[in-house]
A = this chain, B = another copy of it.
Amino acid sequence: MEITKPYLLFLGDAPDQLAAKTASGVVDWRRDWCVGQMRMEGCGADVGLEDLDVAGAVAAGAKTFVIGVVNAGGMLPDHWVDVIVEALDSGMDVASGLHMRLGDIPRVAEAAKANGRSLFDVRHSSERFATGKGARRPGKRILTVGTDCSVGKKYAALALEAEMQARGLDAEFRATGQTGVLIAGRGVAIDAVVADFIAGAAEWLTPAAAEDHWDVVEGQGSLFHPSFAGVTLGLLHGSQPDAFVVCHEPTRTNMRGVATPLPSIAQVIEATVSAGRLTNPDIRCVGIAINSSALSEDEARAVIDKAAADHGLPATDPVRFGAGPIVDRLIAEFG
């Protein structure tokens, strides 16, 4: 499955900017893949692209109509169906990160079939995975892990990919969540895989490669999150990373959505090394990514400097200040 580029980003009638964070993610990292945005009446989001309708997007070369908005319950509202059918009738594929499958909407399924177009439900992989094997594979892998969910693991991985590529490394972002899959054009929403196949899906996502190739793997959840740690562990075992980066949001006190307190960065490093050794005995931490979006620049620099000093590791906010210090360490350790 590879989603065809370029995209028209459909924002529907998203009530606010947060509801369009899927589209924002694509624009932040793959601006060149986007010909424009499409908004319906009442839309409160704007991702800064030219407003186009379906005909205008097709004229601009758009190949895939991307539903870039999340919705309560992951349902696709009935009043979006007309424009989705119009996109299919106009020759575009459709991609969605909603829970509901596009193919479960009869008019959408029929229009896709009639026009020979593809429907990409990025939350639901059509791939059949094997169980994990745990055997070492050639190629190198770096994984972002977190003190919590939603602390910036995806953005850290994308910033690492960009900086590694800028240094001439052969690096490729590997998406493990629905927004990541839209940003990469492929990947697997690993939390939607059947539990037996988490590690196997991660192995499929990061296959054997040239020795100097780096897969930059988007992390999920946290080993310390009581809802999702199983996903995190399976991804760690399956991706068998040589290196990992701990992502942390310094103003957070509780794990997202639950009453569990946040672990320390040191606890995350220790637990990740301890569990990761099972499939890669040489696993090591190469840096700390601080998500400083809630801090002033001075506060951010202070938190980053303290994290670096406390742990003897390069630290940065890779989105705000670039991933340079971490990539310096990666090159120093792995060449």
Contact = CB atoms under 8 A, between A and B. Distances in A.
Interface of A: 131-135, 190-196, 198-200, 223-235, 237-238, 255, 257-260, 271, 274-275, 278-279
A98 to B, nearest CB: 15
A194 B196 contact: no
Please tell me how many copies of the chain the complex holds: 2
A231 B196 CA distance: 7
Contacts of A258: 132-135
Nearest to A202: B230
Given A134-B260, A226-B134, A195 B199 contact: no
A237 B230 CA distance: 9
Contact of A237 (B193, B200, B229): B229
Contacts of A227: 131-134, 196, 199-200, 237
Contacts of A259: 134-135
A203 to B, nearest CB: 9
Contacts of A233: 229-230, 233
Nearest to A261: B278
A27 to B, nearest CB: 26
Contacts of A135: 258-259
A228 B195 CA distance: 8
A263 to B, nearest CB: 9
6 contacts: A132-B227, A190-B195, A192-B195, A196-B227, A199-B229, A229-B234
Contacts of A232: 230
Nearest to A196: B191
A193 to B, nearest CB: 5
Contacts of A230: 195, 198-199, 230-235, 237
